């Protein structure tokens, strides 16, 4: 069974969900939750780091720029592991923002000469294997994927008899 990009359907034990409000102080809790999920599935720390960095960038943008009022808004992050693909769905009710349409910063130019913005999206695009966007039911839905197959930690011993009785 593969991940359905619309419903994100996979077995429940391969899924974690975390909800937060549009409060930047909640980002550390999301990162800890993602770290725990990745560690419990024996994914390499590099995978957790890349995914957390991408999630933090997307959430920071949403919290800082996505709302035109001072009300509390709910943001959901759903992470699923299907075989060796880690998929992240971020859902928010902020103003429409399609990160796939944002021009990446030109890092070949000096900071003084390039336009503001685009560095975060560049980072997300470099850290993740794919970035998809949909607008559904008045919400932004961003789906990020990361191939974890080359980064899965495997425990190998030098002694082939270890653990054999």
68-85 pLDDT, tens digit each: 999 999 999 999 999 899
The pLDDT, as a whole number, for residue 154 is 41
1-13 pLDDT, tens digit each: 334 444 555 555 6
The pLDDT, as a whole number, for residue 157 is 44
Statement: residue 141 has pLDDT above 90: yes
Distance CA 113, CA 121 (A): 19
In a domain, residue 108? The reply is yes
In a domain, residue 3? The reply is no
Statement: residue 159 has pLDDT above 60: no
In a domain, residue 90? The reply is yes
Task: Give the CATH number for residue 38.
Answer: 3.30.565.10
In a domain, residue 159? The reply is no
Domain that holds residue 119: 12-151
Q: Are 121 and 136 within 8 A, CB to CB?
A: no
In a domain, residue 6? The reply is no
Distance CA 160, CA 48 (A): 30
The pLDDT, as a whole number, for residue 164 is 42
In the β-sheet with 130-136, what is the strand arrangement from edge to edge? 15-21, 74-82, 85-92, 139-147, 130-136
Q: Residues near 75 by Cβ (< 8 Å), separated by ≥ 6? A: 19, 20, 21, 22, 59, 62, 63, 90, 91, 92
The pLDDT, as a whole number, for residue 1 is 31
Q: How many domains, the chain? A: 1
Q: Provide the pLDDT confidence category of residue 65 given band limits of 50, 70 and 90.
A: very high
89-133 pLDDT, tens digit each: 999 999 999 999 987 666 666 666 656 655 778 889 889 999 999
18: β partners: 77
Using a 10 angstrom Cβ sphere, with 0-12 exposed, 13-18 middle and 19 or more buried, the burial of residue 165 is: exposed
The pLDDT, as a whole number, for residue 21 is 98
Question: In a 3-state reduction of DSSP, which class is residue 42?
Answer: coil
In a domain, residue 7? The reply is no
In a domain, residue 53? The reply is yes
In a domain, residue 100? The reply is yes
- Please spell the DSSP secondary structure of 72-134, one letter per residue: --EEEEEEEEETTEEEEEEEE-SS---GGGSPPP-TTS-TTTSPS--HHHHHHHHHSSEEEEE
């Amino acid at each position: 069974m593969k991940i359905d990009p619309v419903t994100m359907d996979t077995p429940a034990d391969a899924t974690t969900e975390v909800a937060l409000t549009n409060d930047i102080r909640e980002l550390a809790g999301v990162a800890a939750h993602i770290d725990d999920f990745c560690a419990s599935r024996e994914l390499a720390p590099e995978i957790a780091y890349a995914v957390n960095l991408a999630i933090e960038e997307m959430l920071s943008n949403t919290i800082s720029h996505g709302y035109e009022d001072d009300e509390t808004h709910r943001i959901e992050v759903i992470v699923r592991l299907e075989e060796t693909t880690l998929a992240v769905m971020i859902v928010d009710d902020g103003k429409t923002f399609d990160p796939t349409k944002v021009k990446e910063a030109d890092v070949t130019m000096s900071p003084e000469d390039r336009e503001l913005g685009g560095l975060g999206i560049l980072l997300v695009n470099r850290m993740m294997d794919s970035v998809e966007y949909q607008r559904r039911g008045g919400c932004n839905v961003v789906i990020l994927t990361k191939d974890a197959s080359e980064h899965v930690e495997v425990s190998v011993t030098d002694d082939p008899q270890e653990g054999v009785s």
